[in-house]
Structure 1
Amino acid sequence: MASNEVLASINACVVVPTYNNAKTLSRVLDGVSSYTSQIIVVNDGSTDTTRNILGHYNNLTIIHLPHNGGKGNALRRAFREASTKGFDYAITIDSDGQHFPEDIPAFIHDIQKNGPALLIGDRNMNRAGIPGRSSFGNRFSNFWFRFETGIALSDTQSGFRLYPLKKLQNTRFYTTKFEFEIEVIVKAAWRGIAIRNIPISVHYDPVDRVSHFRPFRDFTRISILNTWLVLVTLFYIRPRDYFRTFKKKGFKRFFFEDLLHSEDSPQKKASSAALGVFVGLSPFWGFQTVIVLFFAVVLRLNKLIAFAFSNVSLPPLIPFIIFACIQIGASLTGSVAHQAFQWREVSTYRTFIQQHLFEYILGSLALATISAGIVGFTSYFILIRRDRLRTL
């Protein structure tokens, strides 16, 4: 297949956002032009000679923005233009010269071989020559992306990407700066779009390359975005996905396939169940889902099992659990907590907790620890026995 037909095979264009990269812009555009003439350049309010350089490229789609609105804004503007022109995919490449246009065919071949996806170039951040700031920022981004989506990638910050435009239609985005590249891949994953890395080459030229990343401002923006994405993940996305799986499979299939028949070891399953019970019985009302999913991710346990067992505090059992916690706490402190307790009146047991707050906290932690231990050990021996019986 001729080089100029590679992108046409999947109906793709190339998007080049640029801001004050006059030293490297021509080299990038010339390199991309050897693969396609379907190039959309967004001049994001450059104040150098970018406009004059672009004047020599009459066969490209060039969008001049009057003011610098940020990389995210430039990409969103380019995606709208590409969708209007009827393209199915858009490959984005930075104009600072760090990416090699020769890697463009790799994106096309991956789509042809493995199917539609949002592809992110993997720069191999562990090799020599990678700036320390970039390597740290990538590890930071990878961790939160995995927490928010459950997908492990080795590079989530590379700007050399392939976006499936039609699959991203009707997705609402709010960011306009560098953090857009995080928002878009997280929301794509939430919508069930496959996200994959593919190897690419990269070159950091200390002379010609100009980076517009502002460490304090942009890192702050990224941190705020990740905070919001984590909250949405914990309070909506994870419960939504678990509920959809449960609803689709029914309780029996859900229990045996997702809880028992996962590929995790008996130790990991039992530990996940113990974590869920501990958090579910601990005095963290209103935050149990957040806490259990956070520790399940940090400890690399089975999030589904941990979440399921954290619901041990079912509403009908809450009054009994509270009373038991206070009685256990009272026995541990040597105090007395045997006042009348009206099981059906919420206002009554709230008052009861306030009157015996210390006993309740101490007792709930004790009950949570004991129950987690019992559930963990019991689950472990049941799973071990089940595995042994299956091998006979």
Structure 2
Amino acid sequence: MRILTAIPVHNEEAHLESVLTEVLRFSEDVLVVDDGSTDRTPDLLRNFSSVQVIRHPKNLGYGAGLRSAFERTLEGKYDGLVTLDCDGQHEPCRIPEIASHLDQADIVSGSRYLQIFDPSQIPPEERRRINVEVTRWLNECLGLNVTDAFCGFKAYRASALPAFEITDLGYAMPLQVWVQAVAHQLSILEVPVPLIYLDESRAFGGALDQADYRLNHYRSVFHEAMRRAGLEVSGGCR
């Protein structure tokens, strides 16, 4: 199975070299989607000649980075795609393991809450609160049984990618993925990955840094995705 490993980045000069060096130990085909970085990220990427690079001329958002990764996976006729972040919160050594489960499901989603690897690692309170609430929507409104709505460490069968129409270019993009996966009856498997928080100061940007605003934004995107998919928004889904 030919697997593409994709990393969306924006201004990741502090982490890029160490993360990319480690990713290359575990993946033969690697793509970095540089989402309009204005720091040294583009210069550092030139040191990795074997890595594919897509550069967005300006910062479009996390969802835009993953949408470009979906497109490259299909264009390159890969069998599957693994996605992970570049902030040190995902362990590249787990790439083969995540990809190996693609023989069981269309989407393999990492969960930081299925298993406790390090009891000293505790997520920021507001992020955990929002994750719990959004995960509840997924389970109550979509009939899923997942534990982590927002883990970016995932694997996708290439054959599943045409099901996704990604219009939210920001951090709410995973909600569209979950809704469209259910609408297209894709199979989903969660696997445990370590919870690692190295930098709690990272920002979402603008008003999204306010927890209540961010949650309301996620709710709006989720409801719109449900409506577009022809799924009923009622009861605990509101």
Structure-2 residue corresponding to 1:66: 57
Structure-2 residue corresponding to 1:359: none
Matched, 1:186 2:179: yes
Deviates more, 1:70-79 or 1:165-174: 165-174
Structure (1 or 2) with the larger CA radius of gyration: 1
* In 1: Cα distance, 2:163 partner to 2:112 partner: 30
Aligned counterparts, 1:43-122, within 5 A: 43-112=34-103, 115-122=104-111
Identity %: 23
* In 2: Cα distance, 1:109 partner to 1:87 partner: 14
* In 2: Cα distance, 1:187 partner to 1:170 partner: 7
By how many angstroms is 1:211 displaced?
A: 4.3
Post-superposition CA distance 1:125-153 (Å, at most 9, x none): 88542211221121011011123310010
**Alpha-carbon distance change, 211 to 12 in structure 1, aligned in 2, over 3 angstroms:** farther
Post-superposition CA distance 1:359-384 (Å, at most 9, x none): xxxxxxxxxxxxxxxxxxxxxxxxxx
Kindly indicate whether the alpha-carbon contact (under 8 Å) linking 2:111 and 2:190 is maintained by their aligned counterparts in 1. Answer: yes
Candidates 204, 217, 220, aligned match of 1:221:
217
Structure-1 residue corresponding to 2:231: 237
- Which amino acid in 2 is paired with 1:80? E
By how many angstroms is 1:105 displaced?
A: 2.1
RMSD: 2.4
**Alpha-carbon distance change, 105 to 174 in structure 1, aligned in 2, over 3 angstroms:** same
* In 2: Cα distance, 1:210 partner to 1:224 partner: 23
Aligned counterparts, 1:331-346, within 5 A: none
By how many angstroms is 1:111 displaced?
A: 2.6
Post-superposition CA distance 1:90-146 (Å, at most 9, x none): 10000111111111122123234xx23211111128854221122112101101112
Structure-1 residue corresponding to 2:23: 32
Kindly indicate whether the alpha-carbon contact (under 8 Å) linking 2:163 and 2:184 is maintained by their aligned counterparts in 1. Answer: no
Kindly indicate whether the alpha-carbon contact (under 8 Å) linking 1:148 and 1:230 is maintained by their aligned counterparts in 2. Answer: no
Greater per-residue helix proportion: 1
The structure showing larger relative contact order (alpha-carbon pairs under 8 Å, at least 6 residues apart) is 2
Question: Which sections of structure 1, spanning at least 5 residues, go unmatched?
Answer: 1-9, 239-289, 299-392
TM-score of the pair, normalised by structure 2? 0.87
Post-superposition CA distance 1:274-297 (Å, at most 9, x none): xxxxxxxxxxxxxxxx66xx27x8
- Which amino acid in 1 is paired with 2:18? R
Q: How many aligned positions are there?
A: 230
Secondary structure of the 1:109 match is helix
* In 1: Cα distance, 2:58 partner to 2:126 partner: 28
Kindly indicate whether the alpha-carbon contact (under 8 Å) linking 1:22 and 1:50 is maintained by their aligned counterparts in 2. Answer: yes
Post-superposition CA distance 1:230-254 (Å, at most 9, x none): 5457xx336xxxxxxxxxxxxxxxx
- Which amino acid in 1 is paired with 2:140? F
Secondary structure of the 1:237 match is coil
Secondary structure of the 1:34 match is helix
- Which amino acid in 1 is paired with 2:17? S
- Which amino acid in 2 is paired with 1:121? G
